[in-house]
Amino acid sequence: MDDVMIGLEIHIQLNRLRSKMFCGCSTSYHDAPPNTHTCPVCLGLPGSLPVINRKAVEFGIKVALALNCSIAEETMFYRKNYYYPDLPKGFQISQYDYPLATGGYVLIKGDDGQERRIRITRVHMEEDPGRLVHAGTIDKARYTLVDYNRCGMPLLEVVTEPDLRSPREARLFLDKLRTILEYLDVFDGNLEGSLRVDSNISLAGGDRVEVKNISSHKGVEKALSYEITRQRNLKRRGIEVVQETRHYDELRGVTVSIRTKEEAHDYRYFPEMDLVPLRIADWVPGIRAELPELPDAKRERFREQYGITDDHAKSLTSEIKVADFYEWVAARSDPKLAAVWIADVLKGELNYRDLTIESFKRESMLEIVRMLSENEITDEIAVTLIRTILDRGGSPREIVESMGLKRADDDYVARAVREAVADSQEAVRDYLSGNARAINYIVGQVMKRTKGRADPSVAHRLVKEEIERQIC
């Protein structure tokens, strides 16, 4: 997609903070009744004065450093003036000429498989407006409700250059950004509205269209795919693509026009007279010293320290909780074996059940890896253990004992092989006539007879030996 240019504006709610951006209201409003977490400051009532939440600014600097940005010597807040029903005071406190940080980058693997550097234009802070709840889709709702609980939540806006070349790259970028944020422990991505995306897209340098307020990574990918198709169809028919703001309707999978695009001067920015400029240069060394090991660095360390593949290292570091889980198990067992079973098997079983890594005890994983290392169980039994624990609970050792799942001894397997070969003469004939894959059927019969307790490689060898013995 050489003619596609995509830039993102990502609004990140710093919801690990206890209080809002400019007042003392609690940020724990997600399960509260509407309009119960508000005060005169976050509603902008006359006479109320905002006070900057220093911790929020520190969180913002932490994110900007992790995105390789240059932190400003001094930053200040502005009033961004516009009317919208979820913004009761008629302006939003945001940043304009003096943002928190500029000029960073994030590395992703591009569509061509090569590492690509996606440039960050700026990182700035602002307050969240409230939330509109439409009765149905936005263009057909008969009425709309307003919840001001979200007013004043600390937001960080990350703006990229138009470096992304496809919807897939946009999704990969967002996945990487979310991973970095979770490593920094500044937001909980599972909370509603924690990360919202505005996508700017243009084809071959034409006018750009903004698709606003997309709340999921998958939604961004779908909205961009739809918008590329829509713009291509317009161009094919000789219709001009106009600069405008559109809404993505996730239910119908389409974008709909909501207004023509505003320019910055439409907002009549002016300095927020109730807040003083902040000199933050002196804060940076201390915050930089407290940065944790970030995903790229951890992936490289895992690869070198544990000798695992790059794919496994990438999978294991995609979530900080999975990385911690792996490292605990790896430190007490075979790290390569642990990587295979956590990255390839456990994560797959968790995804299938829509569960997180916290649903599985690390002690259980350690016990399974140890039993595999000591040849107590087969791979098939290990899979059975993981599935049983996720579905019904229990400890690996108890399940092995109660269900008789220990690896079968050689005599037991040899007897199962003789029986399987005797009952599979058609497959034996196929094998002897040159169909090498026919032997897999017989091995499958052995595994079935031993209830997965035989080593498949041993069963394969014994089956071949038994067939050769019969024809001699």
- pLDDT recorded at residue 190: 87
- Once rounded to an integer, what is the mean pLDDT over residues 148-164? 96
Q: What percent of the chain has pLDDT over 70?
A: 98
Q: Where is average pLDDT lowest: 71-75, 131-135, 387-391?
A: 131-135
> Could you write out the DSSP letters of every residue in 65-91?
HHTTPEEPSEE--EEEE---TT-TTSE
Question: H helices of 290-409, where?
Answer: 295-306, 310-316, 320-330, 335-339, 347-352, 362-373, 379-392, 396-403
- Once rounded to an integer, what is the mean pLDDT over residues 79-90? 90
Q: Where is average pLDDT lowest: 80-89, 102-111, 399-408?
A: 399-408
| CA–CA dist 466, 331 (Å, integer) | 42
At 267-284, the pLDDT tens digits run 889 999 999 999 999 999
pLDDT at 229 over 90: yes
pLDDT at 170 over 80: yes
At 101-144, the pLDDT tens digits run 999 999 999 888 889 999 999 999 999 999 988 877 767 778 88
At 305-351, the pLDDT tens digits run 999 999 999 999 999 999 999 999 999 999 999 999 999 999 999 99
Going by pLDDT thresholds of 50, 70 and 90, the confidence category of residue 61 is very high
Of the candidates 116, 89, 100, the one whose C-alpha atom is nearest the C-alpha of residue 170 is 116
- pLDDT recorded at residue 1: 64
At 435-460, the pLDDT tens digits run 888 888 998 998 888 888 888 888 88
Place of tokens 């909205």: 223
> Could you write out the DSSP letters of every residue in 148-193?
GGGTT-EEEEEEE-S-B-SHHHHHHHHHHHHHHHHHHT---TTSTT
Pairing of the two strands 154-160 and 115-127:
antiparallel
- Once rounded to an integer, what is the mean pLDDT over residues 262-270? 78
Going by pLDDT thresholds of 50, 70 and 90, the confidence category of residue 208 is confident
At 350-369, the pLDDT tens digits run 999 999 999 999 999 999 99
Contacts of 459 (CB under 8 A, 6+ apart): 413, 416, 417, 443, 446, 447, 450
Of the candidates 44, 57, 99, the one whose C-alpha atom is nearest the C-alpha of residue 77 is 99
